């Protein structure tokens, strides 16, 4: 039988089939952060159970942590309790953790691959839906709830039903200033936020092969916004050279034998998919979301939908809700939208390549006067260090950006970084839900390039015209 | 986990699609380290007219009188009916805890996001998926008058006077709810198989056990 990449990963980790369609799947790597783990550790303790394989865990605080004045520690007492709980749980159980003071600390989905803790062919889970990020390394990775975190801690396994296979074939040459973030938004706007529900999505096609590893991570990261818990890209030379020489990746002979294994992590020719979607991107424009769901997206040169448009007839109420929440009108052109804040960061777009793109655009320019705050939050301490070695931080601060310490920050606003009521933000994060970045805050999801251009102009502009 | 029993209750309907878990329970409440007490913050941004925080006395906050939970006819509802793609977004299980803590035992929609759907069964919340025509039937019934609905998981049936709607659910999930099965104990019965798997793979692909 010809197998897809997903089939191969599934089979390799399959331990047992129950007669009701469920399987027991082995989990290699378990990433943990402070928000979704405390109740799992508590549950484990109450049941008197221990952790099955301690070395499978990597923990890092990221959601709650301050991005300024790190030395002063966490001011918010409630956030502190949560981070302290993570510290305590990791200490008692002897688990690998990167502390706030450690240069390796950062957003869990940036840190894992950066350390070589995530490798092709692994199964990876985390109590966080953006675990799909790691599929860029051809790892079977998906987000789980807290009860499942407890289940994996206790058993190293999960009960799963196999997903269907979807192949999104992306062909054509990536246009200038069109990035994998734009591609993700384009796909979601076409298939919808539930379009991938029940599927594992594999991205194939020449445009995907052309993407860098970091760009692939951005795309797989956003897969969950299309409803699929897993996004995958097959192994190629880029994958292998990415994982080579990372702190936790295999070395010497071990590397060679792993490499042989990894090279097989591609879908067989003529493998069968349950659904195939073809996309040609040669003519695509940079994307921006205008509404309160990632599928509400248009090209930067486009307009907001019309309420009379028949394609939206069943969604009329949703459009009205979104227009009203976002303070926008139908048929408005997006590049006239004025902004208050700029956020560059999150597990979607906070890696070094993202920061280089931003630096390229803002170099020797100043952010517009109407922008109240523009922050850049690197994905990890190591990304931060690299950016500083390249002098990017100087470019940012000279332009008027704030250069912060790593964490989730304004992606979800659990720390001090958030939107105030009715503030409008160009954000490189992944969710524009109501209140996501702060109560009544208005989020527009864009690529780092489009966010950078908007910072300079104070409103959205087509970055291709700059 | 407590066993799922037959439900007799009125149903509250929220006419909205794509209700995400950020809307079900906003981030500031995720700083809690326990599973209890989220009910008062369920749908927090929509339900109250002013912002709230963990540890607030919610009884003192100004309510949004137009929000469906504050409609007297929805008081005490154990059944929630909502639009398509319910529970999308963040994996936070707090969303399920909040719904249950509020008093909901059943959520009915035309579709659910995968992670949310999974989380329901770990906590004893029954998510029922209905096709569009059954959704329409149910909603028009709810809109007509304040009915009591009987929901039997055993018979996979929603019943109210003449209205009878059968629903599908896979057997394993059904059993988990009805018996209140603890997945971890079930899995641990297969400990030997898990160890055997590890022993084989540790030789074949040792790098998968890095860390
Ligand atoms: S950056 Fe945002 S999406 Fe990513 S893990 Fe943090 S909160 Fe979640």
* pLDDT at A317 > cutoff 90: no
Selected from 3.20.19.10, 1.10.357.10, 3.40.50.720, 3.30.365.10, the CATH number assigned to the domain covering B6-180 reads 3.20.19.10
Please report the ipTM that was assigned to this predicted complex: 0.92
Determine contact: B110 vs chain A, CB below 8 A: no
The strand pair at A341-344 and A297-299 is best described as: unpaired
Return the pLDDT at A249: 96
Residue B4 gets the label, from left (phi > 0), alpha (psi -120 to 50) or beta, of: beta
Nearest Cα of chain B lies from the Cα of A145 at a distance, in angstroms, of 5
Q: What is the DSSP letter of A314?
A: G
| Ligand 1, pocket-test mutation among A64, A222, A408, most atoms within 8 A of CB | A408
Give me the count of residues in chain B: 211
Task: Note the Cα A334 to chain centre separation in Å.
Answer: 24
Q: Is A412 in the pocket of ligand 1 (CB under 6 A)?
A: yes
Closest in B54, B90, B207 to A119, CB measured: B207
Domain with CATH 3.20.19.10 in chain B: 6-180
Pick the residue with more confidence: A73 or A297?
A297
Return the pLDDT at A413: 86
Instruction: Tell me if A397 sits within 8 A of A365, measured CB to CB.
Output: no
* pLDDT at B145 > cutoff 80: no
Return the pLDDT at B197: 97
Instruction: Tell me if A165 sits within 8 A of A140, measured CB to CB.
Output: no
Return the pLDDT at A350: 98
Cα separation of A152 and A56, whole Å?
A: 10
| Ligand 1, pocket-test mutation among A222, A412, A413, A436, most atoms within 8 A of CB | A412
| pLDDT confidence tier of residue B1, bands split at 50, 70 and 90 | confident
pLDDT tens for each residue of A145-191: 899 999 999 999 999 999 999 999 999 999 999 999 999 999 999 99
Nearest CA in chain A to B202: A28
| pLDDT confidence tier of residue A69, bands split at 50, 70 and 90 | confident
Query: Could you identify the residue written with the tokens 């709830």?
Result: A145
Q: How many CB atoms lie within 10 A of CB A416?
A: 13
pLDDT tens for each residue of A2-60: 999 999 999 999 999 998 789 999 999 999 999 989 989 999 998 999 999 999 999 99
Nearest CA in chain B to A315: B17
Contact between chains at A258 and B207 (C-beta distance less than 8 A): yes
Determine contact: B84 vs chain A, CB below 8 A: yes
What three-state secondary structure class fits B51?
A: coil
Contact between chains at B17 and A78 (C-beta distance less than 8 A): no
């Amino acid at each position: 039988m010809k197998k897809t990449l997903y089939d191969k990963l599934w089979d390799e980790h399959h331990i047992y089939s129950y007669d009701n369609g469920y399987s027991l799947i082995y989990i290699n790597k378990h990433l943990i952060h402070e928000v979704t783990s405390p109740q799992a550790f508590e549950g484990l303790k109450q049941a008197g159970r221990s952790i099955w394989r301690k070395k499978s865990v990597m923990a890092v605080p990221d959601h709650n942590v301050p991005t300024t004045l790190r030395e002063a520690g966490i001011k918010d007492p409630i956030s502190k309790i949560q981070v302290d709980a993570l510290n305590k749980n990791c200490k008692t159980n002897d688990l690998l953790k990167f502390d706030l003071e450690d240069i390796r600390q950062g957003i869990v989905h940036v840190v894992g691959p950066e350390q070589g803790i995530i490798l092709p062919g692994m199964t990876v889970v985390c109590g966080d839906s953006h675990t799909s990020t790691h599929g860029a390394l051809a790892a079977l990775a998906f987000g789980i709830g807290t009860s499942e975190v407890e289940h994996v801690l206790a058993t190293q396994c999960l009960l799963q039903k196999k997903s269907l296979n979807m192949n999104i074939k992306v062909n054509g040459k990536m246009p200038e200033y069109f990035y994998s973030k734009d591609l993700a938004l384009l796909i979601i706007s076409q298939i919808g936020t539930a379009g991938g529900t029940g599927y594992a999505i594999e991205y194939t096609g020449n445009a995907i092969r052309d993407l860098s590893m970091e760009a692939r991570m951005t795309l797989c990261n956003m897969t969950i916004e299309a409803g699929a818990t897993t996004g995958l890209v097959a192994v190629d030379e880029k994958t292998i050279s990415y994982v080579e020489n990372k702190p936790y990746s295999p070395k010497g002979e071990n590397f060679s034998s792993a490499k042989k294994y990894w090279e097989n992590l591609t879908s067989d020719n003529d493998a069968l998919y349950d659904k195939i979607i073809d996309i040609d991107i040669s003519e695509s424009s940079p994307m921006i979301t205008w509404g309160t769901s990632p599928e509400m997206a248009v090209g930067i040169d486009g307009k907001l939908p019309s309420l009379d448009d028949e394609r939206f007839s069943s969604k009329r109420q949703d459009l009205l809700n979104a227009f009203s929440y976002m303070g926008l009108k139908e048929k408005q052109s997006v590049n006239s939208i004025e902004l208050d804040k700029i956020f560059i960061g999150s597990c979607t777009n906070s890696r070094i390549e993202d920061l280089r793109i931003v630096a390229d655009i803002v170099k020797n320019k100043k952010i517009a006067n109407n922008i109240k705050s523009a922050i850049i939050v690197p994905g990890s301490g190591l990304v931060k260090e690299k950016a500083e070695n390249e002098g990017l931080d100087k470019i940012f601060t000279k332009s008027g950006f704030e250069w912060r310490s790593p964490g989730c920050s304004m992606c979800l606003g659990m720390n001090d970084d958030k939107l105030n009521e009715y503030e409008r933000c160009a954000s490189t994060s992944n969710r524009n839900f109501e209140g996501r970045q702060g109560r009544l805050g208005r989020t527009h999801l864009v690529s780092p390039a489009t966010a950078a251009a908007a910072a300079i102009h104070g409103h959205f502009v087509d970055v291709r015209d700059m | 986990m407590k066993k799922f029993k037959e439900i007799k209750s009125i149903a509250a309907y929220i006419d909205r699609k794509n209700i995400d878990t950020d809307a079900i329970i906003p981030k500031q409440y995720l700083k809690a380290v326990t599973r209890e007490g989220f009910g008062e913050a369920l749908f927090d941004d929509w339900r109250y007219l002013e912002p709230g925080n963990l540890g607030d006395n919610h009884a003192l906050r100004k309510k949004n009188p137009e929000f469906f939970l504050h409609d007297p006819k929805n008081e005490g509802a154990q059944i929630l009916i909502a639009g398509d793609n319910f529970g999308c977004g963040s994996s936070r299980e707090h969303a399920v805890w909040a719904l249950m803590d509020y008093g909901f035992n059943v959520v009915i929609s035309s579709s659910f996001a995968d992670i949310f759907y999974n989380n329901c069964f770990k906590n004893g919340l029954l998510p029922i998926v209905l096709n569009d025509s059954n959704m329409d039937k149910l909603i028009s019934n709810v809109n007509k008058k304040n009915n009591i609905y009987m929901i039997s998981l055993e018979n996979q049936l929603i019943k109210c006077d003449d209205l009878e709607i059968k629903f599908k659910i896979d057997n394993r999930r059904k059993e988990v709810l009805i018996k209140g099965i603890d997945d971890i104990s079930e899995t641990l019965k297969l400990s030997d198989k898990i160890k055997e798997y590890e022993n084989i793979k540790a030789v074949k692909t040792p790098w998968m056990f890095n860390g």
